[in-house]
Amino acid sequence: MSTLLEVTDVATYYAAQGATIRAVDGVSFTLAGGEVLGIVGESGCGKSTLGRTVLRLVEPTAGSIRFLGEDITKLDRRAMVRRRRNMQVVFQDPFGSLNPRHRVGEIVVEPLEVHGIGDARSREARVSELLALVGLPPDAAGRYPHEFSGGQRQRIAIARALVLEPKLLIADEPVSALDVSIQSQIINLLAELRVRLGLAMLFISHDLSVIRHVSDRIAVMYLGRIVEIASTSEIFDSPSHPYTQALLSAVPHTDPARRRERILLSGEMPDPAHPPSGCAFHTRCRHAMPRCSGGRPLLTSRPTQAGPREVACYLY
Amino acid sequence: MTTTTPAVTTAILPPRRLIARTLGTPGAVAGSIILVLLVFGALFASLLSPFDPNATRVCPRLAAPSLTNFFGCDLFGRDIFSRILHGAQLSLAVGLLTVAISLIAGTIIGMVIAFLGGRVDRIGVRMLDVMLGFPAIVLAILIVAVLGVGAFNAALAVGISGIPRIARVIRSATLTLVGREYVDSARAVGASQTRILRRHLLPNLWPIVIVLGSLDLGTAILSTATLSFLGLGAQPPTAEWGAMLSAGREFMRYAPWTMIFPGLALFLAVMSVNLVGDRLSHVLDPRASGHV
Amino acid sequence: MSEAPLLAVENLSVAMGATPVLEDVSFQIAPGETLGLVGESGCGKSVTALSVMRLLPNPPGKFLGGRILFDGTDMLSLDIAALRAIRGDRIGMIFQEPMTSLNPVYTIGDQIGESLIVHRGMNGSAARTETAKLLDLVGIPAARNQLDRYPHELSGGQRQRVMIAIALACRPKLLIADEPTTALDVTVQAQILDLIGRLRVELGMAVLLITHDLGVVAEFCDRVAVMYAGRIVEEAPSAELFRNPRHRYTEALLHTMPAANPPGRKLPSISGTVPAPADRGAGCIFAARCRFAIPRCSTDLPPLTEPPHRLRCWNPA
Amino acid sequence: MPWFVRRVLGIVPTLFLTWTIVFGVLQLIPGDPVMLALGGTPASDEVLDNERRRLGLDQPVYIQYLTFLKKMAIGDLGNGYSSKQPVSEMIAARVRPSLELALGGLLVGILLGVALGIAAGLRPHGWIDTMTMSTALVGVSLPSFWIGMLLIYVFGLQLEWVPILGDGIDALILPSITIGLFLAGGLARLIRSALIETMTQDYIRTAHSKGLSAVRVVAKHAMRNAIIPPITLLGLQFAVLIGGAVVTERVFARAGLGSMLIDAVLTKDIPLVQGLVVYTTTAYIVINLLLELLYGIVDPRIRSRRA
């Protein structure tokens, strides 16, 4: 598979309350066409900012983002607009992500209008097609978002995102706001569409079981950095970074066989305005060594049976 | 200067249901009836008045109310009822003009500084806050001092002095809207700045603008009448409620009707507008009506 | 259960305005026991928790019937003074949103000590000493100098610890925890659950844990009651319930979880959504979404069977 | 830097900007200031030139502006055109009547507004609430000059209970009621909405779950959070009032700062207008600052917020 997206040393800083927040700090990864990369981490780790940076909804402070072989961080507004045809997004909040004053038809057709694709009739046909694809009734086009449930709204958001037939979909916590029984419907829909449309996805979530279910590979983020990135089976079968291990062990399971010995971390994630020196995790790590607070460990790659695994830890 | 941000409405109401819900309380119904009567009286003032409002000696000076002069007569023997009807015309027109000035300028300024953000926003907010440091009546008086007295200038002064407050509210409302995911979503599909402003922000700001306008209309009518009362607005012999009150003040011991009826008209006009505006804001603002 | 229950909710029905939100809800908690009340949003689990404390805002909340026996006393028959004597003293409560559940304008020391002053009649300095101990107990180190901090200076996890300290100040016999970890990250959730679990044993108190997270219930609770649309549909010891779910809703819910399925495989899903109160028929409310519904399901309401494995289903697994 | 020092320093640019606006706006007043200063009496060119030099009007505008700022900073407001007296002395002589009226009005407003607002806010949509809010709506719709005149007519002229003129405390009753009625309407509505909003907060539920009495929940946990908007309103209204209740002073023929401002505008006494506006806005800014310092005491979050 060819490389679709190549993110290199991307950093996104912003100023808040007189301090610099390093939301994303030196992140690199690649995504192949049709692949799903899961980005997992706890709130404040920078995963959502990373998603927005890749879309250039937030401007990166440093680094390059190559999409289809072209560095999009250098593009001007107009050129960037054209690239947006190929990269779309679905957000977490199905209540906030749809304009309450637009009918569903207007919401889904807007990308076609913006990019001047087709005429009124072909657009209408395309909207019906998309609504059917995401499992909504044809009469949905004439109704307003507030007439739909959370799960249905998320389907509308997906229809809008896919109307341009993008190659990359960034799904930012797409099922977090939904109840368990609705979650599975949306996960199934995304999985099905991925196969049908050959879609690559950056799937951002804090929910490890959701991430495990949908991803080919997983990147674990902590305080603005990727600490481990590997295939889904590698991450779950043999997590290497102490943080990954603690994170996996913290998830409660209904099946006793799936429970791991719990590694209780002390404290909480530090303030991203004042990250600790060296490895950002050393303040909570049970394996911390003197050198961990000195220099920062870099992501180091080593081959495994299921592809390369990269870990940023002095233990490896 | 308490500028709270009105909640941004999420529900859509078709006009007919909006009117039905606005008329949902006895107060709003009463307000609407008075308002309709006032507007009717103002529109057909010339047809309805028994006398020319400015014709003197149509009745004895300071004559008490009677069947021919319902509200009595003023010092110059003018019919107070006719003058009040014509005053309604002026008050409503001036009120609408005033609100239009504050709303249009305030909305544009507030929306633009919030949307551009960064330094523009910081400087803009600072300027607005400084303007808000002038008590509204003082600012209006200051503007009249520059423009000169007169009904139109008073309206202009009150309108201008209302701009900073509207701009401040619209700015905060726009900021909450800009933070909504559907605005990000529009940017993500490649929508231009103007498209986002026009298609995504403005339609969602409308209810707030309407609420602000309806709540301000009463104050606007009151403020312009106040300026006239102080001698800074409409000048004699214009039939204007504030000016009539000012003139009636000197004779209230002998002819209280010269100040009772113009004041009553002003009070009813302001209250009817406030009753309707208050209810409208409840209907359009889901937080106020407890629907959130 | 041989012991007299600490809390017995009997046939409780509650409405919010004209909408029924709880119908015929019954469950018991023995002293020292942990019961999990689990269900999706809107199923009535939080209303149950607030009802036990009589904290449901009224209006719109309204008790239509049933009893809530705490230590043999019916909470619904108590006057406000007797109720206050129980709240915060014999029953403690913690909530979902640690960010907003603490009063922003008072120090945490003040807010924890308040219960001690009100219920134990302590003076300021005694309350302060005891509050410092409580902070130690909930794992906020260097407790003394933490007393004068304000909620906004603490992280989410720390605020939830403060909430726990408030709830436990008077060593209650029952702790009601309403989604205590939902707003927290998974590693912090683990800390908080671990803390509640330890204190439960140390203080010998019973816990009513309300959550939508089946995993949390499975690992934390002795017994589980599953709610759907205002009713308890199944209740059993948690090991039994998760090994052998019998109500079709519980079964379907467990099967739809991504964690219960191999990665990449299509997830079994429950079709449709919870019907609005107006659209509910006479039978089992889940019937319309149930793959195993038989004709009787949509006409007759199944009764709740007897312990230890209670369920409300005509066609169980 | 401690938060209150930052806040105090923060008003310097605000004062500077405000004075700049006052200076700028008054430059726009039509008519030659020298002619205005001489009160329209015909004068020779020589007299005009002398007067122009004396007032510094022969200097370029930016020099005039700098001089103006310098004088403002040391509290020199210049001399009035009509009286030739120092403006600061003229203002000082009129502060007392305005201040008395401000305090009287505030007292009536607080007594009425706080009581009604709390009664309404604790039982929203109950009958007290409905009554209070209807009355408050009427209150804010009443033209204060009209209500003032009605009070004079009924209590002064017909019943003759109180004098309508004079400096005594009893002459203060009617104007205070006039202002108080206006204040009470807005205050009651604000207290009500602040209280309703606060009572739905999660921490109020926490307070109830601790077993606190209803009185303690409202008085301790709700009030301190609900108090900021009403304090703001009152503080700023007070600031407006000590600058002179323009309308009420007019109606009751009280010689305060408000009636002075109207006269100054009508006679185009620019230094006096300028002095009065500078005094009013400066009072407004200073009171605003005091309010913010007060919020810092009431709400610790404000103290820790960075500038």
- Per-residue pLDDT tens digits for D40-57: 677 788 888 887 887 777
Rounded Cα gap, residues D170 and C3, in angstroms: 76
Residue A229's DSSP bridge partners are A219, A310
Let me know if domain B97-267 sits in CATH 1.10.3720.10: yes
Instruction: Give all strands of the β-sheet with C174-178 in edge-to-edge order.
Output: C91-94, C174-178, C206-211, C34-38, C223-228, C231-237, C310-311
Q: How far is CA D216 from CA B56, D210, D221, D222, in A?
A: 67, 11, 7, 9
Beta-strand relationship, A3-16 and A225-231: unpaired
Lowest-confidence pick of A271-280, B3-12, B48-57: B3-12
Q: Which residues in chain B touch residue A144, judged by CB atoms under 8 angstroms apart?
A: 12
Q: Which residues in chain A touch residue B190, judged by CB atoms under 8 angstroms apart?
A: 80-82, 84-85, 111, 114-115
pLDDT of residue C256: 92
Lowest-confidence pick of B5-9, B161-165, C14-18, C58-62: B5-9
Give the mean model confidence (pLDDT) for residues B272-292: 69
Assess if residue D8 is contained within a domain: yes
**Among chain A residues, CA nearest to D304:** A17
- Tokens representing C13 are 């029905």
Q: Within chain C, which residue ranges are assigned CATH 3.40.50.300?
A: 7-90+170-311
Asked if D5 reaches chain A (Cβ–Cβ under 8 Å), the answer is no
pLDDT of residue B8: 45
CB contact (8 A) between residue B182 and residue A97: yes
CB contact (8 A) between residue C84 and residue D206: no
Contact present, A45 and A98 (Cβ < 8 Å):
no
Q: Which residues in chain D touch residue C53, judged by CB atoms under 8 angstroms apart?
A: 208-209
- Given a cut of 50, is residue D81 above it in pLDDT? yes
In terms of domains, do D278 and D167 share one? yes
In terms of domains, do D146 and D256 share one? yes
Q: CB under 8 Å, gap of 24 or more: what pairs does D14-20 form? A: D14/B129, D14/B130, D14/B133, D14/D285, D15/D282, D15/D285, D16/D69, D17/B126, D17/B127, D17/B130, D18/B130, D18/B133, D18/B134, D18/D278, D18/D281, D18/D282, D18/D285, D19/D68, D19/D69, D19/D72, D19/D278, D20/D65, D20/D69
Give the mean model confidence (pLDDT) for residues D149-155: 89
Question: Domain boundary at D76, D102, D123, which?
Answer: D76
User: Hey, of B12, B13, B185, which one would you mutate to test binding to chain A, going by the most A CBs within 10 A of its CB?
Assistant: B185
Rounded Cα gap, residues C307 and D1, in angstroms: 65
Q: How far is D128 from chain B (nearest CA, A)?
A: 16
Question: Domain boundary at D53, D76, D99, which?
Answer: D76
**Among chain D residues, CA nearest to A17:** D306
Q: Which residues in chain D touch residue A21, judged by CB atoms under 8 angstroms apart?
A: none
Question: Domain boundary at D76, D110, D130, which?
Answer: D76
The total number of structural domains in chain A stands at 1
Q: How confident is the prediction for chain C on average, in pLDDT?
A: 92
Which among C87, C102, C106 has CB closest to D211? Answer: C87
Confidence of residue B11 (pLDDT cuts 50, 70, 90): low
B and C touch with 3+ CB pairs <8 Å, answer no
pLDDT of residue B12: 61
Q: Which residues in chain D touch residue A17, judged by CB atoms under 8 angstroms apart?
A: 305-306
Assess if residue A254 is contained within a domain: yes
SS (H, E, C) C181-225: CCCCCHHHHHHHHHHHHHHHHHHCCEEEEEECCHHHHHHHCCEEE
Asked if B204 reaches chain A (Cβ–Cβ under 8 Å), the answer is yes
In terms of domains, do D138 and D245 share one? yes
- Given a cut of 50, is residue B99 above it in pLDDT? yes
Task: List all chains that touch chain A, counting a touch as 3 or more CB pairs closer than 8 Å.
Answer: B, C, D
CB contact (8 A) between residue A111 and residue B12: no
pLDDT of residue C18: 87
Rounded Cα gap, residues A6 and C208, in angstroms: 49
Let me know if domain C7-90+170-311 sits in CATH 3.40.1190.20: no
pLDDT digits (tens, 9 = 90+) for B169-181: 999 989 888 888 8
The total number of structural domains in chain D stands at 2
Q: Which residues in chain A touch residue B200, judged by CB atoms under 8 angstroms apart?
A: 99
pLDDT of residue C143: 64
**Among chain D residues, CA nearest to C97:** D202
Quickly list DSSP for chain C: --SPPSEEEEEEEEEETTEEEEEEEEEEE-TT-EEEEE--TTSSHHHHHHHHTT-S-TTTEEEEEEEEEETTEEGGG--HHHHHHHBTTTEEEE-S-TTTSS-TTS-HHHHHHHHHHHHH---HHHHHHHHHHHHHHTT-SSHHHHTT--GGGS-HHHHHHHHHHHHHTT--SEEEEESTTTTS-HHHHHHHHHHHHHHHHHHT-EEEEEES-HHHHHHH-SEEEEEETTEEEEEEEHHHHHHS--SHHHHHHHHHSGGGS-TTSPPP---S-PPPGGG--SS-GGGGG-TT--GGGGTSPPPP--SSSEE--SS--
Contact present, A105 and A127 (Cβ < 8 Å):
yes
pLDDT digits (tens, 9 = 90+) for D62-76: 888 888 888 888 888
Confidence of residue B2 (pLDDT cuts 50, 70, 90): very low
Q: How far is D274 from chain B (nearest CA, A)?
A: 9
Asked if C282 reaches chain D (Cβ–Cβ under 8 Å), the answer is no
Confidence of residue B1 (pLDDT cuts 50, 70, 90): very low
B and D touch with 3+ CB pairs <8 Å, answer yes
More confident residue, A100 or C234: C234
Over chain A (316 residues), the average pLDDT of each successive run of 10 is: 90 85 93 95 93 94 94 91 92 87 93 93 94 92 90 94 94 91 92 93 95 96 95 93 95 88 89 89 92 89 85 89
pLDDT digits (tens, 9 = 90+) for C289-304: 999 999 999 999 999 9
More confident residue, A47 or B42: A47
User: Hey, of C105, C122, C154, which one would you mutate to test binding to chain D, going by the most D CBs within 10 A of its CB?
Assistant: C105
Closest CA to D237 of D196, D273, D301, D190: D190
Asked if D3 reaches chain B (Cβ–Cβ under 8 Å), the answer is no
pLDDT of residue B115: 86
Contact present, A157 and A184 (Cβ < 8 Å):
no
CB contact (8 A) between residue D225 and residue C103: yes
A–B CB contacts, 8 A cutoff, strictly below:
72
Question: Domain residues for A313?
Answer: 236-316
CB contact (8 A) between residue D305 and residue A17: yes
Beta-strand relationship, A217-222 and A225-231: antiparallel
Assign residue D163 the CATH number of its domain: 1.10.3720.10
C–D CB contacts, 8 A cutoff, strictly below:
74
Which among B182, B190, B204 has CB closest to A81? Answer: B190
Rounded Cα gap, residues A212 and A210, in angstroms: 5
pLDDT of residue B10: 45
pLDDT digits (tens, 9 = 90+) for D224-274: 899 888 988 888 888 888 877 888 888 888 888 988 998 888 888 888 988
Residues whose CB is less than 8 angstroms from the CB of residue C278 and which lie 6 or more positions away in sequence, other chains included: none
CB contact (8 A) between residue A146 and residue B12: yes
pLDDT digits (tens, 9 = 90+) for C142-181: 667 889 999 998 988 999 999 999 999 999 999 999 999 9
Q: Which residues in chain C touch residue A242, judged by CB atoms under 8 angstroms apart?
A: none
Cis preceding-peptide flag for B26 (omega within 30 of 0): no
Residue A64's DSSP bridge partners are A8
Lowest-confidence pick of A60-64, A185-189, B31-35, D82-86: D82-86
Centre a 10 Å sphere on the Cβ of residue A185 and count the other Cβ atoms it contains. Answer: 23
Q: What is the ipTM of this complex?
A: 0.85
The angle subtended at Cα B283 by Cα B277 and Cα B287, nearest 5°, is 110
Assess if residue A104 is contained within a domain: no
Rounded Cα gap, residues C120 and C110, in angstroms: 15
Assess if residue A74 is contained within a domain: no
Give the mean model confidence (pLDDT) for residues C23-39: 95
Assess if residue D81 is contained within a domain: no
In terms of domains, do D67 and D146 share one? no
CB contact (8 A) between residue D305 and residue A18: no
In terms of domains, do D118 and D58 share one? no
Assess if residue A278 is contained within a domain: yes
Asked if C88 reaches chain D (Cβ–Cβ under 8 Å), the answer is yes
Asked if D205 reaches chain A (Cβ–Cβ under 8 Å), the answer is no
CB contact (8 A) between residue D203 and residue C53: no
CB contact (8 A) between residue C102 and residue D206: yes
Asked if A15 reaches chain D (Cβ–Cβ under 8 Å), the answer is no
In terms of domains, do D192 and D130 share one? yes
Question: Domain residues for D44?
Answer: 3-76
pLDDT digits (tens, 9 = 90+) for B180-232: 889 999 999 999 988 999 899 988 888 888 888 888 899 999 999 999 998 88
Residues whose CB is less than 8 angstroms from the CB of residue C110 and which lie 6 or more positions away in sequence, other chains included: none
Which among D138, D145, D190 has CB closest to B226? Answer: D145
pLDDT digits (tens, 9 = 90+) for C247-298: 999 999 999 999 889 888 899 988 888 888 878 888 999 999 999 999 999 9
